[in-house]
């Protein structure tokens, strides 16, 4: 697999020279400065590509993460022709620049969601964590969403009430900021009234409506992807569950089957995120990878450890609930199959995702979940697994 590294652009505290030192050869980046729904111009793409692919680094821009979908598309809100036209134009501009893999997601309002960004680890270091009781405290006592207690176990409701009663204003502000932290490239950050208003816009949007709006998006853009050689790959929901009363529709094996069958094209593919899918106890991540292997265009390799109450924490890359060795074997077997077919695009880009903050990572102002040393450790571990699999099973 092609070893890549996520880079948030020139303002990222992680520099391209760090990526070279980590041993990655591909860069995963996006033009976060461009508002959602606007065109990524050839000039803007060329400027970023020139920085990434400076010969001094020996890197290439391997994957766009993400070319975001405007919220109006998810809502099916009004005349979307300009938004779709702009998206297709951005796709063509990226393809013309030689960037052919586009990762995106279809999560309403929020991206990945955690309640704690610095959960302590044994021996030092910190990890991202989703504490179910803190999420419920936010939803029920801060957001005050009607129905927020439905289906929540009584013991979690009790924990949530205890947390809220003991919390300070600073604790509540920090929880809101943590929940918003999964939007590193978004322009919108919501306070409580703004989030309530955004959620209100989804009041009449059912799960079937959301699926229909997604299918419409695919019907609008996949023909363009086929035309210009783009591989689109949807990122699963993180976490893979409804949040704040919003349905999420990229959470299970059945969801993925619906999406890939909605427009049956190789250009309509999947970002296999082992951590996102792995946070749902019902998901067999290596099994999902095997079923949809021919449509996996990108992989986020990370692990989570789940708790019985619905909480989970980012684990070591090889140490969580997902059998990472088994998953890598599936992906590398698919690469061998593609190469045997003579495909030029046989290689699956992968990146280590959501590393622990280790040693002096805390001293750097990196985006939550994207420290240098923690990801370096993860990449080294994954690289070792790939080398062993290749030695034993490779052609």
Residue tagged active-site, from 135, 238, 273, 356: 273
Chain-centre distance for alpha carbon 141: 28
- 356 in active site: no
Tokens of 102: 């586009």
Residue tagged active-site, from 70, 133, 317, 354: 354
Torsion angle of C-alpha atoms 75, 67, 180, 304, degrees rounded to 10: 110
CB 124 within 8 A of CB 255: no
Helix axes 372-393, 324-340, angle to 10 degrees: 60
- What percentage of the chain's residues is helix, strand, coil (to nearest 5)? 45, 15, 40
Residue tagged active-site, from 135, 190, 214, 370: 370
- 300 in active site: yes
Residue tagged active-site, from 133, 235, 297, 317: 235
Residue tagged active-site, from 132, 300, 317, 356: 300
- 235 in active site: yes
* 41 vs 92: CA distance, rounded Å: 10
Residue tagged active-site, from 214, 353, 356, 361: 353
* 180 vs 110: CA distance, rounded Å: 7
Kindly report the number of other CB atoms within 10 A of residue 210's CB atom: 20
Kindly report the number of other CB atoms within 10 A of residue 58's CB atom: 10
- 214 in active site: no
* 139 vs 243: CA distance, rounded Å: 9
* 140 vs 16: CA distance, rounded Å: 43
DSSP letter (8 states) at residue 201: T
3-state SS class at 178: helix
Total number of residues shown for the chain:
395
Residues catalogued as catalytic: 235, 273, 300, 353-354, 370
């Amino acid at each position: 697999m092609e070893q890549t590294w996520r880079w948030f652009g020139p303002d990222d505290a992680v520099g391209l020279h760090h990526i070279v030192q980590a041993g990655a050869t591909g860069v995963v980046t996006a033009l976060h400065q461009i508002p959602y729904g606007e065109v990524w111009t050839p000039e803007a793409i060329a400027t970023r590509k020139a920085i990434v692919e400076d010969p001094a680094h020996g890197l290439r821009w391997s994957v766009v993460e993400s070319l975001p979908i405007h919220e109006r598309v998810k809502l099916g809100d009004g005349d979307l022709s300009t938004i779709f036209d702009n998206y297709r134009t951005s796709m063509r501009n990226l393809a013309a620049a030689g960037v052919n893999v586009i990762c995106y997601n279809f999560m309403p309002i929020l991206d990945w969601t955690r309640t704690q960004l610095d959960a302590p680890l044994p021996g030092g270091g910190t990890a991202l964590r989703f504490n179910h009781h803190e999420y419920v405290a936010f939803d029920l006592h801060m957001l005050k969403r009607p129905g927020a207690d439905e289906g929540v176990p009584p013991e979690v409701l009790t924990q949530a009430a205890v947390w809220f009663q003991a919390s300070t204003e600073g604790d509540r502000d920090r929880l809101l900021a943590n929940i918003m932290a999964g939007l590193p490239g978004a322009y919108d950050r919501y306070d409580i009234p703004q989030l309530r208003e955004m959620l209100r816009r989804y009041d009449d949007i059912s799960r079937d409506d959301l699926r229909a709006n997604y299918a419409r998006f695919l019907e609008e853009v996949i023909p363009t992807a086929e035309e210009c050689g783009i591989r689109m790959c949807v990122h699963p929901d993180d976490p893979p569950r409804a949040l704040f009363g919003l349905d999420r529709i990229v959470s299970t094996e059945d969801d993925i089957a619906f999406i890939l069958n909605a427009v049956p094209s190789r250009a309509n593919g999947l970002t296999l995120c082992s951590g996102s899918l792995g946070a749902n106890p019902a998901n067999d991540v290596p099994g999902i990878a095997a079923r949809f292997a021919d449509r996996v265009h990108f992989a986020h390799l990370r692990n989570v450890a789940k708790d019985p109450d619905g909480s989970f924490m980012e684990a070591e890359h090889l140490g969580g609930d997902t059998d990472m060795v088994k998953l890598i074997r599936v992906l590398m077997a698919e690469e061998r199959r593609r190469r045997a077919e003579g495909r030029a695009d046989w290689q699956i880009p992968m990146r280590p995702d959501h590393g622990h903050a280790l040693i002096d990572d805390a001293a750097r102002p990196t985006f939550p979940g994207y420290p240098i040393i923690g990801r370096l450790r993860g990449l080294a571990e994954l690289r070792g697994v790939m080398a062993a699999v290749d030695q034993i099973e490779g052609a």
